[in-house]
Amino acid sequence: MITLDGRTLTSLGVSARSVSGWRDGPLSTRAFRALANSSGGLFASRAAGQLREIELTVNIPAVTIAGTTPVLDLLDEATQGLVALAFPDAPGRVVRVIRIGRTVVGAGADTEFLVPRLLATYTFAAADGASYDTEPMLYALSTTPVPIALGTLPSLGVVQITGAWTGARTLTYRGANGIAYGSLAITVPVSETLLGTEYVELDLARRTITRVGPTGARTDAYAWKSAGAWFACDPTDATRAFGQSPTLALSAGTGIFITRRAWSV
Amino acid sequence: MYPLFGSPQLGAPLEVVSRCLFHVDFAEPEWTADGLLIARSGHLGSFSRGASLASVADSLGTTYAAANSQPAWEARDLDGDTIREAFGLRMGADDRLPFDDPPPPQALSGLLEFVETGARTTANATLFAITNDAVSGARLWLDTSGTYYRINWSDGATTRTATLTVGQPTSGQRVRLRWTLSATGVVTLWQSINGAAETTATAAPLMLPTAWASGARVRLNSRGDTENPAQGWYRRLKLADVALDVATLDVLR
């Protein structure tokens, strides 16, 4: 069933009439430059995503004209702000949208004040056109590479490296074929001592490195990044058909990786 | 009074929020830059644990040890298909998670979903509370008699307790506890184990105070700053105004 922030349409007093656009992934554009004396050209290295629109039409089964207003008000409230939309074909994923339009018509032409049953069409726009798993994925990290399940878009996440350590530790991201596509080395300065009761947090999305002390006190440790570059776990490094996933591993010690799979629809 | 140039537009939304009196869902953990947990209702929680917590399971069933003050996120299989699809916060006896700014005493409904890990058999172990650090004054708390879960509320002098008499969840079972506090001060508790029919208990009325004790906070997994810690795998906690049925409370945002 279709849900808005987990709320079913039934709980909002309406039923689904039609929906469109929910299977259309976000359009992306990529600049292309023709090359002289060539039959082809070059794509730009960066792509730009476009707004993704989803339209939902619901039946408003009021029995009086005045009775339609509270239902519409409730729908207005339920569609305010960022709304997590889920559809029955993928109930474990949501796309987060804002309402950009609402149109209400009578169920028959020119019947708004004769037949109080209405059709309300809500147009939603997703600035982030990706769908995400409702449940995050959690991986224990160690020196043994752990396969990271991905959707159809790259996923970022948070890495927490635990335990007392000195010197450098490297987080290595490898494709399903074993090639290291990304690594981040974190080196504890000689003037610092990292206790076993502390952990270091790497936010791959915000690109921050934070030391979290035994009482939860957080201090910036970005300066501890000593080598490597930020990376994303990318499904182009996986083989969905054969269930092969990219991996993450630490050079020593243990940690966790929390991520949320992202999907183009 | 009408505005001169129309009503302001709503602000640009950055997160999905909840209009419940209180609502935290651990499948959607959000943190402030200084490490406070942001509930969906906007309340800020301060997580702490004074020790490590061992044998926390990831999505593949591999276990790890969470360091001090590292939230022990754990993936669990709630539908019995061996896939650990559910993400939640595992808390042990050293874990604390208080949130500031509790909703005031009023007719309200509460919902707590968790997986039992052994708290029920420890008398007074407290899963949820609206209490101050000293556990004094007007307060509300959900704990166990050592045999059954129970909901309690006190105006500071008199305490009312509704204790279940049927239903003893064992480790690994999914538990949904919900409660209502009526405008007349009647507290009622319902419990469902693994999605089965609810059992219930209720207590005699006691007039609601106008405010909880000074310094009261919404707490998960303990009664006060240190008192009566519980344990469990927590999924979500929700408080809503007025007494609501479970279907409404379940989907309310």
pLDDT in tens, B187-235: 999 999 999 999 999 999 999 999 999 999 999 999 998 889 999 999 9
Assign domain B22-251 to its CATH architecture.
Answer: Sandwich (2.60)
Largest Cα–Cα distance of chain B, in whole Å?
63
The pLDDT of residue A42 is above 60:
yes
Across the range A34-63, mean pLDDT stands at 91
Vertex B16: Cα angle to B251 and B109 (nearest 5): 35
Start-to-end C-alpha separation, chain A: 17
Read off the pLDDT of residues A215-243 as tens digits, 9 standing for 90 and up.
999 999 999 999 999 999 999 999 988 88
Q: Are residues A52 and A166 in the same domain?
A: no
Q: In this structure, which amino acid lies at residue B119? A: A
Other beta carbons less than 10 A from residue A124's beta carbon? 22
Q: Provide φ and ψ at A10, rounded to 5°.
A: -60, -40
Confidence of residue A25 (pLDDT cuts 50, 70, 90): confident
What is the rounded CA–CA span in Å between residue A155 and residue A149?
10
Residue range(s) defining the domain that contains residue A37 = 3-132
Parse chain B into domains and list their residue ranges: 22-251
Q: Are strands A146-147 and A157-162 parallel, antiparallel or unpaired?
A: unpaired
Q: Are residues A142 and A250 in the same domain?
A: yes
Contact B253 A7 (CB under 8 A): yes
pTM of the shown model = 0.92
Contact A139 B58 (CB under 8 A): yes
Read off the pLDDT of residues A139-189 as tens digits, 9 standing for 90 and up.
999 999 999 999 999 999 999 999 899 999 999 999 999 999 999 999 999
Show which residues on chain B lie within 8 Å of chain A, measured between beta carbons.
Answer: 10, 13-19, 27, 29, 33-35, 46-48, 52, 58-60, 62-70, 73-75, 85-87, 247-248, 251-253
The answer to whether the CB of A54 falls within 8 A of the CB of A22 is: yes
Residues 6+ apart with CB under 8 A from A214: A195, A197, A198, B67, B68, B69
What is the rounded CA–CA span in Å between residue A108 and residue A110?
6
- Helix (H) or strand (E) run with residue A66 in it: helix A65-78
Q: Are residues A50 and A164 in the same domain?
A: no
Domain end: A82, A97, A132, which one? A132
Nearest alpha carbon to residue B113 among B30, B14, B24, B199: B24
Number of structural domains chain A divides into: 2
Contact A215 B65 (CB under 8 A): no
The enclosing domain of A198 has a CATH number of 2.60.120.860
Q: Are residues A32 and A92 in the same domain?
A: yes
Q: Are strands B126-131 and B108-115 parallel, antiparallel or unpaired?
A: unpaired
Q: Are residues A104 and A183 in the same domain?
A: no
ipTM of the assembly? 0.92
What is the rounded CA–CA span in Å between residue B50 and residue B37?
17
What pLDDT is stored for residue A117 in this prediction? 80
3-state secondary structure of A235: helix
Contact B247 A7 (CB under 8 A): no
Name the residue in chain A with its Cα closest to that of B10.
A81
Please count the CA atoms within 13 angstroms of the CA of B157 that sit on its side-chain side.
4
Nearest alpha carbon to residue B15 among B39, B44, B45, B47: B39
The pLDDT of residue A112 is above 90:
no
